[in-house]
A and B are shown apart, each in its own frame.
Chain A
Amino acid sequence: MKVLVTGANGFLGRHVVAALLRRGHEVRALVRPTARIECLGWSGVEVLRADLRSPGDLAGAFAGVDTLVHLAAVAIGGEDAQFSAAVVGTERLLEAMARSATRRIVLASSFSVYDWSKVRTELDESSPMVAAPELYQRDGYAIAKVWQERVARCLAERHGWELVVLRPGFIWGRERAYLAGLGQAVGRAHLTISPRTRLPLTHVENCADLFARVVDHPRAACETFNVVDGHDARTWHYLGDYVRGTGAGWLRIPVPYCLARGVVALADRISKLIFRGKGKLPGLLVPSCFEARFKPLRFSSLKIRQALDWQPPFTYAECRQRTYGWSARPCESKVAPAATRAATYVEAQ
């Protein structure tokens, strides 16, 4: 089958393209006009250069395409840049799809669409999505991803498309291993918030394998799946691997979740008291944002295992090897934590 992949040269996208090719699919890769793709070594991939926010660019993108895998999003920049890229881009893309014979979409959503504050112990596909007014207290990425899902669901229903929504947890891999859910670096120290928490990890190659699997999987149609590998990786150990693997040189300082959450609650209470509920705190001190990064929950992978009979191809040890095993080359080993911090749940680009 022929698959159109947006954000194809992104962190996840390049692995999804590879996984689709391995499964024998034809791939049309949609990348931005100025994207540098020579280093990806694509062979047998049809490349289409277009910006999703330019409707004119998308004419012909869907010709002969059976399934759209929509990964494009922006996880950096201001709220408007993120909204425009993820939501307005999706509107334009799906308007073009409506003029084609393509019937299935695989949408890369995110764990950030959930209302983490309302989840007690286990986060799964039945957990509530964050809604207004709480939605607008979250960061720009969460707002964009919620609206992207809303747009996709609305148009899929209107046109009778098969929409498969995949919500990956924290995607990690060689190009991006630092996660915002690890805590906060302060100089040479790293405050490791909630060190014993299980992280909702999915290695980028495992995640890509699932995306490639659902493009034609009959039981995936019109379903939503959380994507986690199900490995029992805890924050403390993951950060330890990261520090060793990248030579980050941080001293890990454990901060219990209840202590950090108490500080956040106090800051929130003081702000509400002084500014009568209208105050604006930095993201880390906003309770809903804090919980979406650090709340110690269990993350079920039952649905993808049962409905799709899927097992991640790589174990945690293998993922760690694939992520850090190349660090002998010093020029590549410097994963810049500051630059990657904001990109917690990045899907693509």
Chain B
Amino acid sequence: MHALENGVRAALVGAGQIARQHLACLRELPGVETVAVCDVSAATAQSAAERFSVPSWFTDHRSMLAEVSPDVVHVTTPPHVHYAVALDALDAGAHVVLEKPATETLAELETLLRRAGETGKLLVENQNYLFNRATREIAARIESGEFGAVIHVEVFICLGITAPGNPIADPNLPHATLRLAGGAIADFLTHLASLAHFFVGPHRTAHTIWAKRSPSPLPYDEFRALVDAERGTAVLGFSAATQPDAVWLRVYGERMQAVANLFETRLTFDRVRGGIKAMRPTLSLLEESRALRRAAFGTLWRKLSGGPGTYEGLWDLLARTYRAIEGGTEPPVPPSQVLAVNRLVAALKPDGSRA
């Protein structure tokens, strides 16, 4: 791999909601020019092009690949189309940034990774929560030794996807994610699996509970999993009934514990302290209250700043990906990680327990 001359030319297929985050980020990245957007809806493609000043738009991704020959293709279509579009993009000689979940099956992902290896191109899956500031700060404390070894991690996503008006539960039009094994919750397994893998390594076994507790078009609306991994254990969960919306991350180490809500900037630590033992809870709570006050204003600031907001991890991941493409270095989500995370995703699916 070598540095590309005259910057990097990016294109995007699938101009829906998450595509706006990709396009907004690409607009900010130095040395990157978005040259085309594609969507099966001409108006959707055209409006995305107009909004982000992209010079061309298409309704057929193969025509786009042939006409503009992009260096990088972002695949932000519904999940069941990822495989076909990503394969075409790799065959056209482009690097691929793939939205989660990468593919519907592990076999498809293995084919894509093999093809990427053969063509010498990158295939990067969006595992955005690994790049949120909170996750990186916890990782930094683990790396410094302050945290001690990580024993256990918990990730719990609370998202009201069955609420009236939510397109995922629209009874009139089955949402694209309902095609996935496990339904709409499967669309979030990459978040759970990537964080579990990041903190406790590749999984050995996974035991899951899939449940449906309220009437909706979703096959399941509650999910729990207990994962045994190489470096520790993980408890993962998704709840459509629990409110307010949140992505709770709790990391338990030998000398420190961390709690973050990745929808906000909330991040608190509790740690083993020297001195008078009885004072530890008081000192910890004072420290936590200071962190919470900072988070309250930080979250508001993040919202008003017009930046990526809760997608800060995606923006950071894309910036790192483009640096890797330009510099010919290791991508932020290497193939081995994409594969290991998706092996856990497969094990977490309703038919994959104890895989």
Contacts and interface: CB of A to CB of B under 8 A. Distances in A.
Interface of A: 32-34, 51, 53-54, 76-81, 83-84, 87-88, 90-91, 132-133, 136, 143, 147, 150-151, 271, 275, 278-281
Nearest to B42: A91
B68 interface: no
B30 interface: no
Contacts of B47: 83, 87, 143, 147
Contact of A51 (B42, B44, B173, B303): B173
Contact of A147 (B43, B171, B173, B304): B43
B306 A88 contact: no
A32 B173 CA distance: 9
Contact of B44 (A88, A150, A271, A281): A88
Given A54-B173, A80-B16, 13 more contacts: A34-B172, A76-B165, A80-B167, A81-B165, A83-B44, A83-B47, A87-B47, A88-B43, A132-B51, A133-B51, A275-B305, A280-B306, A281-B304
A151 B47 CA distance: 11
Nearest to B19: A80
B254 interface: no
B307 interface: yes
Interface in B94-115: none
B41 A91 contact: yes
B50 interface: yes
Given A34-B172, A88-B44, A132 B50 contact: yes
Contacts of A32: 172
Contacts of B50: 132
Contacts of B282: none
A150 B43 contact: yes
A308 B51 CA distance: 37
Interface in B20-73: 41-44, 47, 50-51
27 contacts: A51-B172, A54-B173, A78-B17, A78-B167, A79-B17, A80-B16, A83-B44, A84-B167, A87-B43, A87-B47, A88-B44, A90-B43, A91-B41, A91-B42, A132-B50, A136-B51, A147-B43, A150-B43, A151-B43, A271-B304, A275-B306, A278-B305, A278-B306, A279-B306, A280-B303, A280-B305, A281-B304
B205 to A, nearest CB: 38
B305 A53 contact: no
Contacts of A87: 41, 43-44, 47
A130 B172 CA distance: 31
B19 to A, nearest CB: 10
Contacts of A54: 173
A213 to B, nearest CB: 29
Contacts of A151: 43
| Residue of B42, B50, B173, B305 most packed against chain A (CB within 10 A) | B173
Nearest to B17: A80
Contacts of B306: 275, 278-280
A189 B115 CA distance: 64
Contacts of B173: 51, 53-54
A250 B47 CA distance: 41
Shortest Cβ-Cβ A-B pairs, 7 listed: A280-B306, A80-B17, A32-B172, A278-B306, A51-B172, A34-B171, A279-B306
A139 B306 CA distance: 15
A147 B39 CA distance: 15
A286 B129 CA distance: 30
A2 B44 CA distance: 31
Contact of B167 (A81, A90, A281): A81
A278 B41 contact: no
B263 to A, nearest CB: 16
A79 to B, nearest CB: 8
Given A83-B47, A91-B41, A275 B304 contact: yes
Contacts of B41: 87-88, 91
Nearest to B174: A54
Given A54-B173, A87-B41, A278 B167 contact: no
B172 A279 contact: no
Contacts of B304: 271, 275, 279-281
Contacts of B167: 77-78, 80-81, 84
A32 B172 CA distance: 6
Contacts of A279: 304-306
B293 to A, nearest CB: 20
A132 B165 CA distance: 28
A84 B307 CA distance: 24
Nearest to A270: B304
A88 B16 CA distance: 11
B23 to A, nearest CB: 11
A247 to B, nearest CB: 25
A51 B50 CA distance: 27
A78 B165 CA distance: 9
Contact of A91 (B43, B171, B305): B43
Nearest to B41: A88
Contacts of A136: 51
A88 B39 CA distance: 11
B43 A33 contact: no
A34 B170 CA distance: 10
A83 B173 CA distance: 15
Nearest to A32: B172
Nearest to B304: A279
A84 B17 CA distance: 10
A237 B303 CA distance: 37
Contacts of B42: 91
Contacts of A80: 16-17, 167
A271 B42 CA distance: 34
Contact of B171 (A33, A77, A81, A281): A33
A341 to B, nearest CB: 14
Contacts of B307: 278
Nearest to B309: A280
B137 to A, nearest CB: 23
